[in-house]
Amino acid sequence: MFKSAYQRSLFRIFLLAGALPLFICVILILSVFRISSDANTDRAGQSRIGSMTRAVSSFTTQSETALNRVVSDPLITSALEQHAPASTEIYHVLYSALNDIPSSPDISVYDSGGVLLYTTGEGKPGERLPTDWGLLFSARDKDRVVFRRISPYDSVQRSCMEIACPAKSGGSVLGYAVIEVSDACLSGLLADLTAETDYMLLDPMWNEIHASPFLKEADTAKLLRSSLLHPGSSDTLLDDYRLFISRDENSGFISVLCMARPLSDHTARILYAVALFSILLCLFLCLLFSVRLSNQVSKPVRSLNEAMAQVEQGNLDVQLEETGTDELSLLSAHFGRMTGRLKSNINSSIRQQQELGETKMRMMQAQLNPHFLYNTLDTMKWLAKIHHVPEISTISANLADILRSSISADEFVPLRDELKILERYVEIQKIRFPDKFEYRTQIDDETLDLLIPKLMLQPLVENAIIHGFEDGSSGEITVSSKLAGDLLVLEVRDTGCGISEEMKQSFLSARSDAGEHSRGHLGLHNVDAILRLNYGEEHGLRITDACPGTCIRAELPVEKLKKNTDREQ
């Protein structure tokens, strides 16, 4: 799903920070809302069903009392026995029995054959009710007050509920007293109590006796009965309503209050759909942002990574495109500069290597067959001694020493040894150019043991002899060495004609262009190159005017000159 672990962890963080709290909030709010509104409905419903039940129960109790009073009234009993015609006294008894019953139902008296005798209602005397069926059968059969709804199948449909009680005398049924309760009577009794809530009064078999218009319309009683018979089945009407049920012990009648659920399924579904939608939106945004953000970060990182891999492979020409001003772009820019620097470093070190190689080559050429030369010189020395030519002998011996030193494997020699060789050389040159120059040394003793490149001073002195006095003049050549701080300062000074500005320039330009050496200063250049290679660019030779004459000066770091082993490493 995600390209990188970084994206994954970003997404996780976004989820935790964004979606999860939203999620929890939605759940909490919805459940709190639901619970509290359900609790409210519950309280209201419980209190209303309570008052409804009390009303039904007091109504049935009072009806029962009234019927018992009527059937036990001696006047009624004797009237039933004698089939007496209706009289004011009888009606007085009937009406006074009704007095205690709220919402004034009607009361009738039937004889033992089910013929209506007296009534306070609309029934006509002479009407029949079956005695082997329905209400009167039930009253006789059970021998007590019975409550019964009027079903759609009953022949008389004046009321919605009847209460009957048999009148007996000595074990035989004389007749029946019946209270007929109309719809209007029941709604007068119940409508106010239930405070506009939908309600129903059901018989023990959950058939409707009386119901508020909405429930009557929806035939809710049938629905309830069928859901009792088939508990598994569910009905959408019942889903949206909360039912409060209670049973009247007297009659077995069941009161049902039906309150709309504050959060009907439909509303709840919409709420949940909105919640789900917002959560999904949040998830989507989390995903989107994590991908975008991680791309923003990981793209430069990735290209930086690739560039590094290329550098690792040796390609230093990698170019990173500039993307912006943030930290990652700065990093990229830095990386670019770093590779540039690395590249120039490597280039210069390659150039140095080449120079070194060339110098070495020249030195090797210079050392051509030195042993043969050495032996020849030795022979010359002995021949001169034999023939008593001391100058040749001295020259040969000195030359041989110089040659031996030059062919020795040591690259660095103590200053002491170097000075000895220099003296040999000067001796030779003195023979060549008698009285041309005086050679002097000013050497600090502490510098004698320092190691310097072999044959470093000789070319300088040679340079001074050849060029310092080329106009035929004579002077002094002084070689000095001293310590100045951490530097060894070596100087070769002559009091000759001095160096021309042109020469100095040619020396400096030759230094920068390794290939071209001005003729006649080969030795000087070699020394300069050796010094710079060994001790760094800044430790090359310096040529200054000494007025009169020239001073060639080398300042070498003492640290690097001290021990053989240090140098090797």
- Which 25-44 residues touch other proteins, going by CB under 8 A? 26-27, 30-31, 34
- Which 214-233 residues touch other proteins, going by CB under 8 A? 224, 227-231
Per DSSP bridges, beta strands 487-494 and 198-202 are: unpaired
Residue 74 lies near other proteins (rule: CB under 8 A) = no
- Least CB distance to other proteins at residue 56 (A): 16
Residue 287 lies near other proteins (rule: CB under 8 A) = no
Which helix (H) or strand (E) is 484 found in, with range?
A: strand 475-484
Question: Which residue's CB is nearer to other proteins, number 235 or number 462?
Answer: 235
- Least CB distance to other proteins at residue 311 (A): 34
Among 99, 126, 153, 502, binds other proteins (CB under 8 A): 153
Looking at the DSSP bridge assignments, the partners of residue 13 are: none
Residue 473 lies near other proteins (rule: CB under 8 A) = no
Is 534 strand, coil or helix?
helix
- Least CB distance to other proteins at residue 265 (A): 6
Region near other proteins per CB under 8 A, out of 21-29, 293-301, 366-374, 503-511: 21-29
Question: Which residue's CB is nearer to other proteins, number 23 or number 335?
Answer: 23
Residue 253 lies near other proteins (rule: CB under 8 A) = no
Residue 22 lies near other proteins (rule: CB under 8 A) = no
Question: Which residue's CB is nearer to other proteins, number 286 or number 403?
Answer: 286
| Residues 379/367, Cβ–Cβ less than 8 Å | no
Question: Which residue's CB is nearer to other proteins, number 280 or number 361?
Answer: 280
Phi, psi of 255 (to 5 degrees): -95, 135
Question: Which residue's CB is nearer to other proteins, number 79 or number 209?
Answer: 209
The candidate with the shortest Cα–Cα distance to 488, out of 441, 413, 539, is: 539
In this structure, the chain runs to a length of 569
- Least CB distance to other proteins at residue 137 (A): 7
Residue 2 lies near other proteins (rule: CB under 8 A) = yes
Q: Would you say the C-alpha torsion 336, 338, 341, 342 has a positive or negative sign?
A: negative
Question: Which residue's CB is nearer to other proteins, number 25 or number 308?
Answer: 25
| Residues 513/358, Cβ–Cβ less than 8 Å | no
Residue 23 lies near other proteins (rule: CB under 8 A) = yes
Taking the CB of residue 163, how many other CB atoms lie within 10 A of it?
26
Residue 268 lies near other proteins (rule: CB under 8 A) = yes
- Which 505-544 residues touch other proteins, going by CB under 8 A? none
Among 134, 468, 475, 549, binds other proteins (CB under 8 A): 134
The candidate with the shortest Cα–Cα distance to 491, out of 476, 505, 503, 502, is: 476
Q: What span, in angstroms and rounded, lies between the C-alpha atoms of 14 and 1?
A: 16
- Which 429-458 residues touch other proteins, going by CB under 8 A? none
Question: Which residue's CB is nearer to other proteins, number 121 or number 252?
Answer: 252
HSE toward the beta carbon, residue 13, CA cutoff 13 A: 11
| Residues 259/241, Cβ–Cβ less than 8 Å | yes
Question: Which residue's CB is nearer to other proteins, number 27 or number 383?
Answer: 27
Residue 143 lies near other proteins (rule: CB under 8 A) = no
Residue 144 lies near other proteins (rule: CB under 8 A) = no
Q: What span, in angstroms and rounded, lies between the C-alpha atoms of 107 and 180?
A: 6
Taking the CB of residue 390, how many other CB atoms lie within 10 A of it?
10
Question: Which residue's CB is nearer to other proteins, number 35 or number 338?
Answer: 35
- Least CB distance to other proteins at residue 202 (A): 10
Rounded (10°) CA dihedral 143, 149, 152, 156: 60
Region near other proteins per CB under 8 A, out of 93-101, 276-284, 334-342, 421-429: 276-284
Three-class HEC string of 540-560: CEEEEECCCCEEEEEEEEHHH
Is 466 strand, coil or helix?
helix
Q: What span, in angstroms and rounded, lies between the C-alpha atoms of 520 and 458?
A: 15
Among 126, 152, 314, 485, binds other proteins (CB under 8 A): 152
| Residues 453/530, Cβ–Cβ less than 8 Å | yes
Residue 128 lies near other proteins (rule: CB under 8 A) = no
Residue with tokens 């290939």: 515
| Residues 482/447, Cβ–Cβ less than 8 Å | yes
- Which 335-374 residues touch other proteins, going by CB under 8 A? none
Among 18, 50, 121, 204, binds other proteins (CB under 8 A): 204
Region near other proteins per CB under 8 A, out of 60-68, 81-89, 198-206, 338-346: 198-206
Instruction: Name the token pair of 117.
Output: 């005798």
| Residues 166/71, Cβ–Cβ less than 8 Å | yes
Q: Which residues bind other proteins (CB under 8 A)?
A: 1-2, 8, 11-12, 15, 19, 23, 26-27, 30-31, 34, 132-134, 137-138, 141, 148, 151-153, 204-207, 224, 227-231, 234, 238-239, 242-245, 247, 254, 265, 268-269, 272, 275-276, 279, 283
